[in-house]
C-alpha cells in the first residue's frame, strides 16, 4: 500500500468525502436544528441569568435528559444560532453553485425552501426591528430581548437567504425557459 492510497483513506479525507456527498442533508439538518432550538430558546424566554432554573413553556424534546436542563440549555443556546448560520450557508452555497442545464430538481427545491424561509421571516419575524409597542406577538418581544446584534443578524441572515433563493429560482426559470424553447424548436 503506497502513501497516496493511504492518504486517500485517512479519516479527514473520508469525513470530507462524506460531507460533500451529503451536503444537502447536512445543511437541512443544521438549519432545522438551529431553527428548532433557537425558537425553543426564544419561546421559553431563556436567558443566561435564568439557566439555573428549569422553567419552560414547552420542552425542546419529549425525552427526559440524563443531564439537568440547567446544563443542557446553555449548550443548545450556544450551538443553535451557529448551526442555523452554517446550515443556511451550506444550503445557499449548494443552491447557487453550478446551476446548469441538467435540471437538478434538488437545487430547485432548495431554492424554493430558501425563498420561503427568507420571505416568512421577513414578513413575520422582522417586526422586532420596529418599536416594541407595535408587536402583535409576545415572541417578537423575546427576539428583541436578546439584543440588537442578535436581532439584526437574524434579519440580515433572512435577507441573504431570501436573495440567494430568489436568484437561484430566477436562474432555474431562465434554464427552464431555454429548455422549453429548444424542445419547441426540435419539433
- Burial (Cβ within 10 Å: 0-12, 13-18, ≥19) of residue 72: middle
Residue 55: per-residue pLDDT? 44
The dihedral formed by the CA atoms of 114, 28, 94 and 159, expressed in degrees to the nearest 10: 30
- Predicted confidence (pLDDT) at residue 134 exceeds the cutoff of 70: no
pLDDT digits (tens, 9 = 90+) for 57-77: 445 555 565 666 666 667 777
Task: Give Cβ neighbours of residue 28 (< 8 Å, ≥ 6 apart).
Answer: 87, 91
pLDDT class of 29 with cuts at 50, 70, 90: very high
Mean pLDDT of 21-47: 82
Name which of 27-36, 164-173, 177-186 the model is least confident about. 177-186
Name which of 34-43, 63-72, 81-90, 152-161 the model is least confident about. 63-72
Residue 47: per-residue pLDDT? 59
Residue 161: per-residue pLDDT? 93
**What share of the chain has pLDDT > 90, as a percent?**
18
Residue 122: per-residue pLDDT? 82
Residue 114: per-residue pLDDT? 92
**What share of the chain has pLDDT > 70, as a percent?**
67
Q: Tell me 38's DSSP state.
A: H
More confident residue, 35 or 40: 35
The phi, psi pair for 125, rounded to 5°, reads -95, -15
- Predicted confidence (pLDDT) at residue 86 exceeds the cutoff of 90: yes
Residue 129: per-residue pLDDT? 62
Distance CA 64, CA 110 (A): 34
C-alpha dist (Å) from residue 72 to 39, 75, 77, 184: 15, 5, 9, 59
Listed as own residue / partner, the contacts of 56-60 with beta carbons closer than 8 Å and 24 or more positions apart are 60/36
The answer to whether the beta carbons of residues 132 and 141 sit under 8 Å apart is yes
Distance CA 106, CA 95 (A): 8
Average pLDDT, the chain: 77
The phi, psi pair for 92, rounded to 5°, reads -65, -45
C-alpha dist (Å) from residue 95 to 16, 86, 123, 179: 19, 14, 22, 19
Amino acid at each position: 500500500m503506497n502513501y497516496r492510497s493511504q492518504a486517500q483513506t485517512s479519516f479527514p479525507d473520508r469525513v470530507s468525502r462524506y460531507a460533500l456527498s451529503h451536503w444537502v442533508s447536512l445543511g437541512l439538518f443544521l438549519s432545522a436544528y438551529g431553527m428548532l432550538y433557537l425558537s425553543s430558546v426564544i419561546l421559553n424566554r431563556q436567558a443566561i441569568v435564568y439557566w439555573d432554573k428549569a422553567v419552560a413553556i414547552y420542552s425542546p424534546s419529549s425525552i427526559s435528559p440524563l443531564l439537568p436542563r440547567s446544563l443542557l440549555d446553555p449548550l443548545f443556546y450556544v450551538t443553535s444560532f451557529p448551526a442555523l448560520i452554517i446550515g443556511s450557508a451550506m444550503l445557499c452555497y449548494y443552491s447557487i453553485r453550478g446551476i446548469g442545464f441538467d435540471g437538478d430538481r434538488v437545487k430547485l427545491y432548495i431554492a424554493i425552501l430558501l425563498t420561503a424561509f427568507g420571505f416568512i421571516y421577513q414578513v413575520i419575524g422582522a417586526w422586532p426591528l420596529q418599536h416594541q409597542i407595535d408587536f402583535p406577538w409576545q415572541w417578537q418581544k423575546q427576539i428583541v430581548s436578546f439584543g440588537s446584534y442578535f436581532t439584526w443578524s437574524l434579519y440580515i441572515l433572512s435577507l441573504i437567504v431570501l436573495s440567494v433563493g430568489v436568484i437561484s429560482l430566477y436562474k432555474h426559470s431562465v434554464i427552464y425557459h431555454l429548455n422549453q424553447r429548444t424542445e419547441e424548436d426540435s419539433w
